[in-house]
Chains A and B, each alone.
Chain A
Amino acid sequence: MEDYHKPDQQTVQALRNIANRLRINSIKATTAVGNGHPTSCCSVAEIMSVLFFHTMKYRPDDHKNPNNDRFILSKGHAAPVLYSVWVEIGFLKESELMSMCQVDSTLEGHPTPKQQFVDVATGSLGQGLGVACGMAYTAKYFDKSSYHVYCLLGDGEMSEGAVWEAMAFASYYQLDNLLAILDINRLGQSDPAPLQHHVEKYQRRCEAFGWHAIIVDGHSVEELCKAMSQPRHQPTAIIAKTIKGKGIPVAEDKMGWHGKVLSKDMAESVMRDIQSRILNSNKRMYPASPIEDAPPVSLRNVRMPSAPNYKPGEKIATCKAYGMAVAKLGRYNERVVAMDVDTKNFTCSEIFKNEHPNRFIECYSAEQNMVSVATGCAARERNIVFASGLATFFTRAYDQLRMAAISDSNINLCGSHCGLSDGEDGPAHMGLEDMAIFRAIPTATIFYPSDAVSTEKAVELAANTKGVCYVRTTRPETAIIYNSNEDFHVGQAKVVCQSKEDQVTVIGAGMTLHEALAAAEQLKKERIHIRVIDPFTIKPLDAKTIIDHVRSTRGRVITVEDHYYEGGLGEAVCSAIVNEPGFTFQRLAVAHVPRSGKMSDLFKIYGIDRDSIAQLVRKMLSSSANAK
């Protein structure tokens, strides 16, 4: 065994004492507030003690220091033990802990970045390791620094496929700075976890996924110290056999105690019992300081070096413009990184890869993990991340996206091949619900650019916009409609076509904007004039511009979108113009599960093409004429 110095007895005892104090505080806090998972805390007490007071290197007074080792509590329901660690360190007061989960406390039921020491929110199981992969990848390949990443997982969450996506990713990229600790406490919420205490099965699975896996007694401080001190040449999993509720005699290894708090009396007697095991040791434990070798990074004011270089009338797909824009942004900003899920030749992120191969991460067909890796790379403001895939496959990662919002994450996502414009591949590949799901993310900004110029602007704006940014791109080539020097802002629509005689306002985006423009040409021959608006961002939507223009077309407005009726552009406009008196609003969208076919045929069948728009305009005008 290389270089392993067994900790002295005093240290061992001090770590045991800390573990028991963590137990006491976890029990005390959960009983005080009548909520939480004390038994899930007790199984990890020794693990947390050894990690935070023996293994990890960090500055306890400077949580966001880029040189610190990172820690992710993937089993977020054990939050009280994490908070207890920070009480032990002295960062939190015990009184704060005793009011956790209350409406005025920043210590929530599951960890959120309202606490400085939390990088990403957890609580939806199986997501921590993917985020840890993003952090470890950043450390090893982007920061080229010596900090390590530690992730504590529960055994229940090992059933989540996302964990195995992350396992495969970590070994593929040889993340030897990543350590996962598996708390195998046997019991899940409503049943034992499927593999119970078969630690050798966990070991075999980890090894098959390319990890070094060490089985330890998770309550033995010595074994934990030893396992965590081993030199690492590949990602390492410590498979810790533990007892759920360890230290609480009535609950130890018993079903029916998940998420249950102890009564006051029981808590007191248990805490007395645990207290009696804390042996006199004057040794105070301090974490070791990190090596200061992480480079300084500034992500502020990331700008394009020059204006877009497209000419009006030129034809280019917005998905291609996306790839070119991210590559261009990366040219002058070395912390711009990109990733994809083996679709880089479709999303055109390969343009970035070809130009900046060291800043591109191929995540293979694992969308959940890609979003987690993106979140991990963006944590502590280390990188500006652009992650791309087919729009519809972000549905695969919707739980991760939901959690990214709770994590206050600043990630940028690009979904290509939206809508029917995917044509012959059929409905499995058509993104027709992506706007609905991104609109329902409170921190999201949704860009839906309609030409290459606005796509380039969208990418630049996304890089500088907080929260989750989503750029929806399209496969077919479309004409450039904006001048290179056109100014774009989040929440600012463009009026693409207008005249004084306009009678109806039509709002489209992407392909449907071009259909609307074609409809406008068609109708002009009949002396019907329509105003065409490009919203640019669907969230936030430029309600003011829309309302002003609809008013000047006598309240008549039509939306047309390559998306299902629910939750997309139409409903967004509906929300924006509600309560405006005298408006007449009609919507065109996809109403059913579509099918394979040529895009032009599909646009006709599902009624979002130029003819359908023109027809609806005529109908609207004739019915308002009849009303008179």
Chain B
Amino acid sequence: MEFYHKPDEKTLQALKDIANKLRIHSIKETCASNSGHPTSCCSAAELMSVLFFHTMRYKANDPRNPSNDRFILSKGHAAPILYAAWAEAGFIKESELLNLRKIDSDLEGHPTPKLAFVDVATGSLGQGLGAACGMAYTGKYFDKASYRVYCMMGDGECSEGSVWEAMAFASYYKLDNLVAILDVNRLGQSEAAPLQHNMDTYKERCKAFGFNTYVVDGHDVEELCKALWHAEQTKGKPTAIVAKTFKGKGLKGIEDQDNWHGKPMPKDRAEELINDLLSQIQSPNKPLHPQLPNEDVALADLTPIRLLTAPEYKIGDKMSTRKAYGVALKKMGDASPRVVAMDGDTKNSTFSDIFKKAHPDRFIECFIAEQNMVSVAIGCATRDRTVSFASAFAAFFARAYDHIRMAAISQSNVNLVGSHCGVSIGEDGPSQMALEDLAMFRAIPTCTVFYPSDGVSTERAVELAANTKGICFIRTSRPDTAVIYDAGEKFEVGKAKVVRQSDKDQVTIIGAGVTLHEALAAHDQLAKEGVNIRVIDPFTIKPLDASTIVASARATGGKVITVEDHYKDGGLGEAVLSALGEEPGIVVHRLAVSCVPRSGKPQELLDMFGISAKSIVAAVRRTFAN
């Protein structure tokens, strides 16, 4: 057992001085931008000083070094003090600080990974700790390295449930390399946070959720050094440092006062406030340097990950695409140790348990906490440490939509897989049916949306997703459907397949997943009547293969029918309309679910909501009638 050595007086004074320098920078930055949150910075000044110049081990000139300790500013609105810390550490120029929030500066209102020292974007509260959990899990179990993860949170965001999902996760997985720092500055945006300065309640909550917990005076650098040292010695438990602080600390007449959230200091008072802080700095030139990390992490191997063997399905085999996902993911795991997977206690439904059985050390059970699962997946994927695949019922990604939105801002390469889409799940009813997921994921700018229709294409979708930048979403289905592609078929992002065609096709039908199979059934039925239709599988809904669709539409007299197991808004149909854009002379009919559905047998529901083979046949006949 090591013993705690109190830092010498000089060091303590230097840490205090840095805290005040960070305050001064924060005031100057936000005065220059005339917006921002200086009071939220000031409460965290000592915390930031001790973390960046005493506790954390990192290379200040190489913020993305994989061996560095990680830092996540969950209270992203305190961005100016983060930028100030990196200015003090020497990574950014002090003069650059004054460009905060300007259109041509990467020092944005809330941190984004345009900056090398930011791993994940923050600013939507309550998301940092989940990402920190993913990083800490990766550090402890995948990298098996000594880097530690520090997450700074505000008290306001402790009202977010996702914080408690992350707390439960961290203690369940004994993430003793994780420290959560709670900046309890009492005041929220529009009024005091619900627990105000009730430190005991915070302490009880953290302890009840399995954290080793210290309540400290957040403005006492010595107490902070000590608590953070103890955190490092604690094994088997994550640590929470619950720091009692004052919003606007150090700013006379502003400290602990209401109505100062998100307000820069008035121009006429800034100078006086800054001078006041300057007068407390004893040795302005005493530089403190962060400790260097143990270099025990190898650089990520970024070579593309390819399936070792082609899909082993035969045309006509029957299987669900969700099962094909599990098989594919397991094979990707065989191909690279970087592939990891997680699920929200649905692994026997999404079939991620096939991966788990083969690679138990690379599977994380996240339990029923979808927001946290997405955050963990994002955390695991930072600094290219892993290629993460997170799966659940597609409907429940709605729960994590804010996290997915933020993942785009974070430039994350996370892969999400939603099973049980649409009414074709049957009896479980509408609460379990994803009918808005395509709309959700299409509205994510960095997203690629795969919607495979058989085992072969699912396997290729998983392979492509692993190597595609940005967020990838794979939509899988519950019912067993026939394999329609040859095992050797090649697939590309943004490349549709024409599944049925002849010289006499009169209508183009675009379906995906179960509705592609319904379209094929409609094709066969109509063929008996001598009517030929062309059937297209878009494979990716975003990007959509506009040129194949336009060419087919032209070849079939401009007649197009889309059919989707999704609501009418924002899904395949609207994607096709957008793609056809200005094409003249094209008539599109859309079949989709138009109201909240219900329980029933899958085939009955496909009929009832007008997206079955029967409905397609009727729609084809209608196009001729017109």
Contacts and interface: CB of A to CB of B under 8 A. Distances in A.
Interface of A: 33, 35-36, 76, 100-103, 105, 108-110, 112, 114, 121-126, 156-157, 159-165, 168, 172, 188-191, 193-194, 201, 204-205, 207-210, 340, 342-346, 350, 362, 364-369, 392-393, 395-396, 398-399, 401-403, 405-406, 423-429, 432-433, 436-437, 439-443, 539, 564-568, 570-572, 574-575, 578-579, 581-582, 584-586, 591-593, 595-598, 601-602, 605
**Closest CB pairs A-B (n = 8):** A161-B161, A428-B123, A123-B431, A103-B600, A597-B103, A440-B436, A567-B570, A426-B109
A108 B429 contact: yes
B600 A102 contact: yes
Contact of B110 (A190, A399, A428): A428
B346 interface: yes
B357 to A, nearest CB: 12
Contacts of A100: 599
Residue of B204, B345, B435, B446 ringed by the most chain A CB atoms within 10 A = B345
Interface of B: 33, 35-36, 76, 101-103, 105, 108-110, 112, 114, 121-126, 156-157, 159-165, 168, 172, 188-191, 193-194, 201, 204-205, 207-209, 343, 345-349, 353, 365, 367-372, 395-396, 398-399, 401-402, 405-406, 408-409, 426-432, 435-436, 439-440, 442-446, 542, 567-571, 573-575, 577-578, 581-582, 584-585, 587-588, 590, 594-596, 598-601, 604-605, 608
Given A208-B208, A369-B161, A440-B436, A402 B126 contact: no
A579 B583 CA distance: 11
Contacts of A364: 156, 159, 188, 193-194
Contact of B405 (A392, A539, A572, A575): A392
A440 B395 contact: no
A340 B162 CA distance: 18
Contact of B345 (A191, A342, A428): A191
Contacts, number: 335
Nearest to A76: B431
A36 to B, nearest CB: 8
B443 A433 contact: yes
B618 to A, nearest CB: 18
Given A109-B599, A442-B567, A442-B594, A365 B157 contact: yes
B427 A109 contact: yes
A487 to B, nearest CB: 27
B549 to A, nearest CB: 14
Contact of B443 (A103, A442, A567): A567
Contact of A172 (B33, B194, B432): B194
Contacts of B209: 205, 208
B101 A427 contact: no
B446 A208 contact: no
Given A189-B346, A208-B201, A343-B190, A597 B428 contact: no
A193 B365 CA distance: 10
A353 to B, nearest CB: 9
A210 B208 CA distance: 12
B405 A433 contact: yes
A565 to B, nearest CB: 7
B163 to A, nearest CB: 7
A272 B483 CA distance: 45
B432 A123 contact: yes
A579 B445 contact: no
Nearest to B440: A437
A161 B164 contact: yes
Nearest to B600: A103
Nearest to B408: A593
A506 to B, nearest CB: 17
B443 A566 contact: yes
A461 B406 CA distance: 33
A109 B402 contact: no
19 contacts: A159-B368, A161-B160, A189-B349, A207-B208, A208-B207, A365-B160, A368-B161, A393-B124, A395-B402, A398-B440, A424-B35, A424-B109, A427-B409, A428-B110, A429-B110, A440-B439, A595-B112, A595-B114, A596-B101
Nearest to B33: A424
B440 A189 contact: no
A189 B345 contact: yes
B204 A207 contact: yes
A103 B209 CA distance: 43
Given A124-B431, A441-B436, 5 more contacts: A205-B209, A429-B109, A439-B569, A567-B439, A593-B409
A342 B593 CA distance: 37
Given A365-B126, A425-B110, A433-B405, A209 B188 contact: no
B190 A168 contact: no
A426 B110 contact: yes
Contacts of A584: 582
A592 B165 contact: no
Contacts of A162: 161
A253 to B, nearest CB: 17
A423 B109 CA distance: 9
Nearest to B344: A159
A595 B103 contact: yes
A401 to B, nearest CB: 8
Residue of A193, A208, A392 ringed by the most chain B CB atoms within 10 A = A208
Contact of B440 (A105, A368, A440): A440
Contacts of B439: 436-437, 439-440, 566-567
A194 B444 CA distance: 32
Residue of A392, A428, A565, A570 ringed by the most chain B CB atoms within 10 A = A428
Given A160-B165, A399-B396, A574-B577, A437 B401 contact: yes
B574 A575 contact: yes
Contact of B599 (A103, A424, A572): A103
B368 A157 contact: yes
Given A103-B598, A205-B208, A208-B201, A426 B343 contact: no
A350 B190 contact: yes
Contacts of B191: 342, 362
A578 B588 contact: yes
Contacts of B157: 365
A33 B570 CA distance: 34
Contact of A344 (B36, B190, B435, B573): B190
A624 to B, nearest CB: 11
Given A189-B346, A364-B156, A578-B588, A33 B427 contact: yes
A204 B208 contact: yes
Nearest to A100: B599
A190 B172 contact: no
A28 B475 CA distance: 34
A233 to B, nearest CB: 18
Contacts of B101: 424, 426, 596-597
Contacts of A539: 569
Nearest to B434: A402
B125 A365 contact: yes
Contacts of B121: 427-428
A208 B199 CA distance: 12
A159 B440 contact: no
Contacts of B188: 342, 364-365
Contacts of A574: 574, 577-578
Given A161-B164, A190-B343, A598-B103, A571 B577 contact: yes
Contacts of B367: 156, 159, 188, 191, 193-194
B430 A396 contact: no
Contact of B596 (A189, A406, A428): A406
A380 to B, nearest CB: 20
B103 A437 contact: no
Contacts of A568: 443
A209 B123 CA distance: 26
A343 to B, nearest CB: 6
Given A157-B368, A575-B574, A593-B409, A124 B399 contact: yes
Contacts of A582: 584
A342 B443 contact: no
Given A160-B161, A190-B345, A364-B194, A440 B567 contact: yes
